[in-house]
Amino acid sequence: MADTRSITVTVNGQPYTRTVETRLTLADFLRHELGLTGTHLGCEHGVCGACTVLVEGRTARSCLMLAVQAAGKSIVTVEGIAPSETELHPLQQAFQDNHGLQCGFCTPGMLTTLLEFLGDNPDPTEAEVREAISGNLCRCTGYQGIVDAALDAAKRMRK
Amino acid sequence: MKPPPFRYHDPRTLAETIDLLARLENAKLLAGGQSLMPMLNFRYAQPDNVIDLGRVEDLAYIREEGSGLRIGAMTRQRDIEFSDLVRKRCPLMADAIRFVGHRQTRNRGTIGGSLSHLDPAAELPLVCATVDATVHVAGKKGERAIPMAKFPQGYMTPAIEADEMVIAVSVPASGPGYGFVEFARRHGDFAIVAAAATLEIANGTVKRASIALGGVGPAPVRCADAEKLLAGQKPTPDALRAAAETCRKIDAMEDVHAPASYRQHLATVMTRRALEAAVKNAGA
């Protein structure tokens, strides 16, 4: 019989209680159990960074965490970044304005990664931005638009 | 790619954890999960039982121990990165930690996990080998301390019994004469070659040199010849170059990234750069 647990996880401010298989990853929990498909799964072994979410305010790769490890914790996914249904977060707006995405697959991971990074380092250099996103793969943009967006967002968020 | 079925255990105390480890068949310890989770997803690892250390109390700490440090096994790499105490007492580790994966993985990855996984290119085992750290393990039969020189038994094989676990590492204080460099294809990738060095310099002379290489052999390698050559010498560019050159004869791995001869060449270059950084940081 499958090993299961009942867990309560707060996602984007809302608590969810579900009974899950203990081997379920946090990424699959978010996508399949909660229907929050904004978190993307690329490689499923911690290389591409697409599934990055914030766990207690700190980025983590949700494919490298079990859902049961998130029990009692507070998670923010890409769906939880914007201030309202009709407004974008300044970081999201900067991505739109600077062509920081093309296909959009890596974008959720880029946004969550940069959200933590810009919180810690509000005035980064270009080199620091490139290091910050070194764990996130993008196959469309050549990264330049993403770096521009991050630097632009930093400027907007400092205001 | 999904983990295979297993039974999940989340003990709250060390005693409970050790009891589970002794009792359960084919169990794996889950620390930060940054190596075990990919191995589960790939099904390289197929444990019947997974023991999650995330909720075990008193395993995550950075404390003063004599003039050095004692770091709990579940201390996140991130907490080492931002620790003033680590920067003060083992600046080599504080410097090297930036090369460990990425922010997202350092937020979860632990020092105990890194030591137990013992990847040949991993930075934390390399630092521990350089500064002669001591690994503390615990099991049903009690605790024991393993000097880092004896900790790796081979490729990704630490000297830990199946019913034992790493609980902490003691890190002796090391001075400002440190250098850490690595050559990787991208920032955060596994090092093709990494070099770590600490130099004690007094009155313009090297009193003691510790030099180790990662990514070259199956586990971190201390460069005894280079260390001997530098002891008692003035750290001139020629002396550093001559010491680094001794690393060319190190037995090197060959893989898809680089042939052995390339690693041996890199070993001399990286060692020289680590030594140059150590001299510069020492302010000598």
Burial state string for B28-58 with b = 16 or more CB within 10 A and e = fewer than 16: bbbbbbbbbbbbbbeeebebebbbbbbebee
The burial class, CB within 10 Å (0-12 / 13-18 / 19+), for A5 is middle
Among residues B131, B150, B171, the one where a domain terminates is B171
Cβ within 8 Å of residue B130, ≥6 positions away: B92, B196, B197, B198, B210, B211, B212, B220, B222
For the residues A128-146, what does the mean pLDDT come to?
96
Would you list the domain boundaries of chain A? 4-80, 90-158
User: Is B49 touching A (CB cutoff 8 A)?
Assistant: no
- The predicted-structure confidence for A141-158, as pLDDT tens digits, reads as follows 999 999 999 999 999 999
- Taking CA atoms, B26 is separated from A22, B40, B46, B234, in Å, by 17, 14, 9, 53
Residue B249, pLDDT > 80, answer yes
User: Is A4 touching B (CB cutoff 8 A)?
Assistant: no
Are B29 and B12 part of one and the same domain?
yes
- The predicted-structure confidence for B110-162, as pLDDT tens digits, reads as follows 999 999 999 999 999 999 999 999 999 999 999 999 999 999 999 999 999 99
> How close is the nearest chain B Cα to the Cα of A131, in Å?
7
Q: Do B52 and A21 touch (CB under 8 A)?
A: no
Burial state string for B73-92 with b = 16 or more CB within 10 A and e = fewer than 16: bbbbbbbbbebeebeebbbb
Are B24 and B94 part of one and the same domain?
no
- Could you identify the residue written with the tokens 């790493």? B166
- Could you identify the residue written with the tokens 């002669």? B132
Q: How many residues are listed for chain B in this entry?
A: 284
Please list every residue in chain A whose beta carbon sits closer than 8 Å to the beta carbon of residue B108: 60-61, 64-65
Cross-chain CB nearest to B8 (options A44, A68, A134): A68
B28 in a domain, yes or no? yes
Please list every residue in chain A whose beta carbon sits closer than 8 Å to the beta carbon of residue B33: 64-66, 69
Q: Are strands A4-11 and A74-76 parallel, antiparallel or unpaired?
A: parallel
Residue B211, pLDDT > 70, answer yes
Are B182 and B149 part of one and the same domain?
no
Among residues B152, B171, B190, the one where a domain terminates is B171
Dihedral sign of CA atoms B92, B95, B101, B103 in order: positive
Cβ within 8 Å of residue B244, ≥6 positions away: B226, B268, B269, B271, B272, B275
- Could you identify the residue written with the tokens 């890409």? A78
Q: Do A21 and B5 touch (CB under 8 A)?
A: yes
Are B94 and B189 part of one and the same domain?
no
Q: Three-class SS string for B194-217?
A: EEEEEEEEECCEEEEEEEEEECCC
> How close is the nearest chain A Cα to the Cα of B173, in Å?
29
Provide the β-strand partners of residue B146.
B135
Residue B189, pLDDT > 90, answer no
Q: Do A135 and B7 touch (CB under 8 A)?
A: no
- Residue B186: pLDDT band with limits 50, 70, 90: confident
For the residues A96-120, what does the mean pLDDT come to?
97
- Is pLDDT larger for residue B189 or for residue B238? B238
The burial class, CB within 10 Å (0-12 / 13-18 / 19+), for B128 is buried
Chain mean pLDDT for chain B: 96
B227 in a domain, yes or no? yes
User: Is B185 touching A (CB cutoff 8 A)?
Assistant: no
B135 in a domain, yes or no? yes
The phi, psi pair for A109, rounded to 5°, reads -70, -35
Are B140 and B75 part of one and the same domain?
yes
- Could you identify the residue written with the tokens 């041996």? B264
pLDDT of amino acid A108 = 98
Q: What is the DSSP letter of A23?
A: T
The burial class, CB within 10 Å (0-12 / 13-18 / 19+), for B93 is buried
Nearest CA in chain A to B98: A131
Are B221 and B135 part of one and the same domain?
no
Q: Count A/B contacts: CB-CB distance under 8 Å.
A: 93
Q: Residues A106, A50: contact at Cβ < 8 Å?
A: yes
Task: Report residue B147 CA to chain centroid gap.
Answer: 13
Residue among B97, B103, B105, B182 with most chain A CBs within 10 A, to mutate: B103
Tell me which amino acid residue B206 is. V
B67 in a domain, yes or no? yes
> Among B172, B199, B180, which residue's Cα sits nearest to residue B283?
B199
B239 in a domain, yes or no? yes
Cross-chain CB nearest to B5 (options A2, A65, A132): A2
Separation of alpha carbons A12 and A73, rounded Å: 11
Cross-chain CB nearest to B103 (options A25, A116, A130): A116
Residue B35, pLDDT > 80, answer yes
Domain limits at B151?
Answer: 62-171
A90-158: CATH architecture: Orthogonal Bundle (1.10)
Share of chain A above pLDDT 70, in %: 99
Number of domains forming the structure of chain B: 3
B275 in a domain, yes or no? yes
Are B147 and B200 part of one and the same domain?
no
> How close is the nearest chain B Cα to the Cα of A148, in Å?
19
pLDDT of amino acid B1 = 85
pLDDT of amino acid B187 = 83
Residue B284, pLDDT > 70, answer no
Are B72 and B167 part of one and the same domain?
yes
> How close is the nearest chain B Cα to the Cα of A143, in Å?
14
Share of chain B above pLDDT 90, in %: 96
Tell me which amino acid residue B122 is. A
B2 in a domain, yes or no? no
ipTM over 0.90: yes
What three-state secondary structure class fits A16? strand
B1 in a domain, yes or no? no
User: Is B6 touching A (CB cutoff 8 A)?
Assistant: yes
Are B232 and B191 part of one and the same domain?
yes
CATH of the structural domain A4-80, one choice from 3.40.50.300, 3.30.930.10, 3.40.190.10, 3.10.20.30? 3.10.20.30
pLDDT of amino acid B191 = 93
Q: Do B107 and A66 touch (CB under 8 A)?
A: no
The phi, psi pair for B86, rounded to 5°, reads -65, -45
User: Is B186 touching A (CB cutoff 8 A)?
Assistant: yes
> How close is the nearest chain A Cα to the Cα of B3, in Å?
6
Interface subset of B 196-225, CB within 8 angstroms of A = none
> Among B138, B119, B128, which residue's Cα sits nearest to residue B56?
B138
Global confidence as pTM? 0.96
> How close is the nearest chain B Cα to the Cα of A144, in Å?
16
Among residues B115, B149, B171, the one where a domain terminates is B171
User: Is A60 touching B (CB cutoff 8 A)?
Assistant: yes
